[in-house]
């Protein structure tokens, strides 16, 4: 059965309209990605660039550095460690934080009763919220990662392969986050618990991101991390489908 | 022709272990206006949720307009059903007009202008839903339920929380729209049920206690006699007690059940007058839905005056 039923498509329109009118959701949706995908990388490149010009950034990291950073120049650390880390952070955090607004608010305000009264399935309601979250995430983050990629290419810090890796990483991080949001939809009763659950679910993922980027060599770290994020998402989805019921959203 | 809605040995147990419905079976036939009554926790809202398809039964089966809930064809039956939910929240970021627009698209049909006119929502379409008054919010949910021109209406406490004026408005709308449709009205308000429905399903502790037409229930219920004297209810109770009759005080009057209220009233009245009571009221009462409901759920047993009992003057 298709997830994008006509009912889901109608509800996605409603969700997007509401998200665009929600100051809190919109601010969260924009601030995190702008910071993580553009501002922080730009500052890092700028500081390492000026450091290089001042003769402080030209060497490579010594043997005491983590294996994943060994042999990298400081600008390489930005390109192969900091930027992918912030890309993964943006991809993992932003959709799930946005989902809290659309999913938990509907439940807290009891407006979900209006939806249940309409000719839609409970699954349609949840899928529509996740689809709207995904669309907003893509609409916000694709232009930002394009800016980031162009910046890295112009600076000569990376090549087209790295750009492709960044896109892959962002896509997998978003997919992981949407799956985590699915669990969130079925477990969280209010904003507070949703943030606690979100933190509980995302913290191990963020530790995993950092560990992979620090330990694995540059050539494999992004593909491996992307695969692990997909795996974490699949795990969350499996738990949601097998252990939780959609009825939880109403209880 | 299939029933408009039906439950067959349906049970629902929640995750916390609470058994909300315990093997209920009943059906509402097309054209009927049934009310679902029961004390708090009886399982009324769970029954509505099962019909909405929002919950799945733990056991048994549920049908809506001939389609079993949960099957691929059920959604088509839902498009022919209008639902008024119990005290829903209102969107602060959608206008009434936008909401009705989405509702129309989900039903795939409906004359928006006609529904807006019927419910007097014309001036409210650009207002955010959460900013509407309670009365207009309820009108909006009624309008949404009727927009798809449904054959069946499920009304879950449609007037709960409304002030008397808004309640009367909603009753007027319901009386009109229910004339042409099969309806299941879930309510605590017995006067509302009595006014709008002609069939009663009484639930208690997850079981169906009664499923009858109101007319049948009235025919079968014990008639009662209401008596009042200038000396007050206590004097009246004492006089009745001295004749071996027990009754209940009801304000300044007393009420006692009688097998044949009209037949026994004259003799009882003569006897009470002979006792020196200034009786100014002696009225046979038709059983109200409230009495029938309370008797069904065992909340207030009414003392009875057996048929043929002689009242000595």
The pLDDT value recorded for residue B292 is: 73
Tracing tokens 């489908």 back to the chain, one arrives at A241
Chain B CB within 8 Å of residue A251 CB? yes
Length, in residues, of chain A = 251
C-alpha B43: how far from chain center: 14
By C-alpha distance, which of A162, A195, A198, A160 is closest to A180? A198
Task: Tokens for B189, please give them.
Answer: 């308000």
Test the A interface: residue of B46, B53, B90, B106 with most A CBs within 10 Å: B106
Which residues in chain A (16-35) have CB-CB distances under 8 A to chain B? 17-18, 21-22
For residue B296, pLDDT beyond 80: no
Burial (Cβ within 10 Å: 0-12, 13-18, ≥19) of residue A159? exposed
Chain B CB within 8 Å of residue A4 CB? no
The pLDDT value recorded for residue B140 is: 95
Task: Tokens for B114, please give them.
Answer: 């006609």
Chain A: closest CA distance from residue B1 (Å): 23
Rounded average pLDDT over B252-264: 84
Distance CA(A188)–CA(B221), nearest Å, equals 49
Fold of B221-305: Alpha-Beta Plaits (3.30.70)
Distance CA(A12)–CA(A16), nearest Å, equals 6
Burial (Cβ within 10 Å: 0-12, 13-18, ≥19) of residue A83? buried
ipTM, 2 decimals?
0.83
Interval A198-241: pLDDT, tens: 888 888 888 999 999 998 888 888 999 999 999 999 998 888 77
With cut-offs at 50, 70 and 90, classify the pLDDT of residue B310.
Answer: very low
Q: Would you tell me how many other CB atoms lie within 10 Å of the CB of residue B117?
A: 12
A55 with A124: CB under 8 angstroms? no
Length, in residues, of chain B = 313
Which residues in chain A (102-161) have CB-CB distances under 8 A to chain B? 109-114, 116-122
For residue B308, pLDDT beyond 50: no
Instruction: Identify the segments of chain A with pLDDT beneath 50.
Output: none
Residues of B in contact with A11 (CB under 8 A): 102
From residue A65, alpha-carbon distances to A40, A214, A225, B146 in Å are 22, 9, 20, 69
Interval B21-48: pLDDT, tens: 999 999 999 999 999 998 888 899 999 9
Minimal-distance CA residue of chain A relative to B141: A114
Chain B CB within 8 Å of residue A250 CB? yes
**Beta carbons within 8 Å of B306's beta carbon, 6+ residues apart:** B259
The CA-based diameter of chain A, rounded to the nearest angstrom, is 68
Distance CA(A226)–CA(A209), nearest Å, equals 9
Rounded average pLDDT over B281-288: 81
Residues of B in contact with A120 (CB under 8 A): 106
By C-alpha distance, which of B260, B63, B84, B59 is closest to B170? B84
Task: Tokens for A13, please give them.
Answer: 């329109």
The residues spanned by each domain of chain A are: 6-249
Interval B205-229: pLDDT, tens: 899 988 988 888 777 777 788 999 9
Chain B: closest CA distance from residue A157 (Å): 44
The residues spanned by each domain of chain B are: 1-80+151-219, 89-149, 221-305
The pLDDT value recorded for residue B313 is: 35
A116 with A250: CB under 8 angstroms? yes
Rounded average pLDDT over B123-142: 94
Distance CA(B161)–CA(A244), nearest Å, equals 33
The pLDDT value recorded for residue B193 is: 87
Q: Is the CATH number 3.40.640.10 carried by domain B1-80+151-219? A: no
Chain A: closest CA distance from residue B211 (Å): 25
Q: Would you tell me how many other CB atoms lie within 10 Å of the CB of residue B262?
A: 10
Burial (Cβ within 10 Å: 0-12, 13-18, ≥19) of residue A181? buried
For residue B11, pLDDT beyond 90: yes
Rounded average pLDDT over B176-198: 88
The pLDDT value recorded for residue B285 is: 81
C-alpha B37: how far from chain center: 5
The pLDDT value recorded for residue B303 is: 47
């Amino acid at each position: 059965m298709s997830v994008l039923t006509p009912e889901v498509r109608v509800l996605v329109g409603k969700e997007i309209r509401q998200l665009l009118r929600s100051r809190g959701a919109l601010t969260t949706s924009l601030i995190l990605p702008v910071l993580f995908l553009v501002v922080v990388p730009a500052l890092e490149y700028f500081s390492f660039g000026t450091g290089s010009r001042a003769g402080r950034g030209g060497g490579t990291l010594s043997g005491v550095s983590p294996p994943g950073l060994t042999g990298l120049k400081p600008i390489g650390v930005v390109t192969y460690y900091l930027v992918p880390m912030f890309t993964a952070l943006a991809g993992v955090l932003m959709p799930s934080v946005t989902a809290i607004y659309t999913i938990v608010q509907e439940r807290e305000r009891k407006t979900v009763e209006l939806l249940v009264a309409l000719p839609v399935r409970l699954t349609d309601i949840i899928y529509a919220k996740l689809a709207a979250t995904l669309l907003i995430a893509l609409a916000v983050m694709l232009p930002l990662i394009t800016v980031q990629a162009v910046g890295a290419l112009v600076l000569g810090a990376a090549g087209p392969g790295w750009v492709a890796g960044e896109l892959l990483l962002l896509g997998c991080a978003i997919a992981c986050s949407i799956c985590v949001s699915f669990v969130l939809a079925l477990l969280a009763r209010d904003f507070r618990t949703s943030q606690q659950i979100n933190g509980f679910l995302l913290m191990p993922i963020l530790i995993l991101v950092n560990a992979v980027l620090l330990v694995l060599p540059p050539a494999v770290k992004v593909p491996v991390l992307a695969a692990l994020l997909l795996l974490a998402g699949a795990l969350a989805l499996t738990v949601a489908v097998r252990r939780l019921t959609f009825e939880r959203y109403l209880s | 022709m299939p029933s408009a809605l039906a439950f067959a040995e349906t049970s629902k147990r929640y995750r916390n272990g609470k058994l909300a419905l315990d093997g209920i079976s009943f059906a509402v036939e097309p054209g009927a206006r049934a009310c679902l009554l029961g004390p708090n926790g009886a399982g009324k809202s769970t029954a509505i949720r099962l019909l909405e398809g929002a919950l799945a039964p733990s056991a048994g089966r549920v049908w809506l307009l001939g389609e079993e809930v949960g099957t691929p064809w059920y959604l088509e039956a839902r498009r022919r059903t209008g639902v008024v939910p119990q005290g829903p929240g209102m969107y602060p970021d959608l206008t009434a007009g936008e909401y009705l627009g989405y509702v129309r698209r989900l039903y795939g049909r409906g004359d928006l202008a006609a529904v807006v006119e019927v419910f007097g929502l014309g001036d409210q379409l650009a207002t955010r839903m959460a900013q509407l008054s309670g009365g207009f919010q309820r009108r909006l949910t009624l309008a949404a339920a009727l927009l798809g021109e449904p054959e069946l209406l499920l009304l879950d406490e449609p007037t709960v929380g409304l002030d008397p004026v808004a309640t009367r408005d909603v009753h007027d709308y319901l009386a009109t729209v229910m004339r042409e449709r099969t309806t299941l009205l879930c309510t605590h308000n017995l006067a509302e049920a009595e006014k709008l429905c002609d069939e009663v399903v009484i639930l208690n502790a997850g079981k169906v206690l009664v499923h009858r037409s109101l007319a049948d229930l009235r025919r079968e219920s014990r008639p009662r006699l209401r008596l009042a004297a200038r000396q007050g209810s206590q004097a009246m109770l004492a006089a009745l007690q001295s004749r071996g009759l027990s009754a209940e005080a009801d304000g300044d009057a007393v009420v006692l059940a009688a097998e044949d209220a009209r037949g026994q009233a004259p003799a009882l009245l003569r006897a009470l007058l002979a006792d020196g009571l200034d009786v100014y009221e002696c009225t046979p009462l038709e059983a109200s839905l409230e009495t029938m409901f309370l008797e069904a759920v065992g909340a207030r047993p009414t003392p009875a005056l057996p048929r043929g009992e002689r009242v000595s003057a």
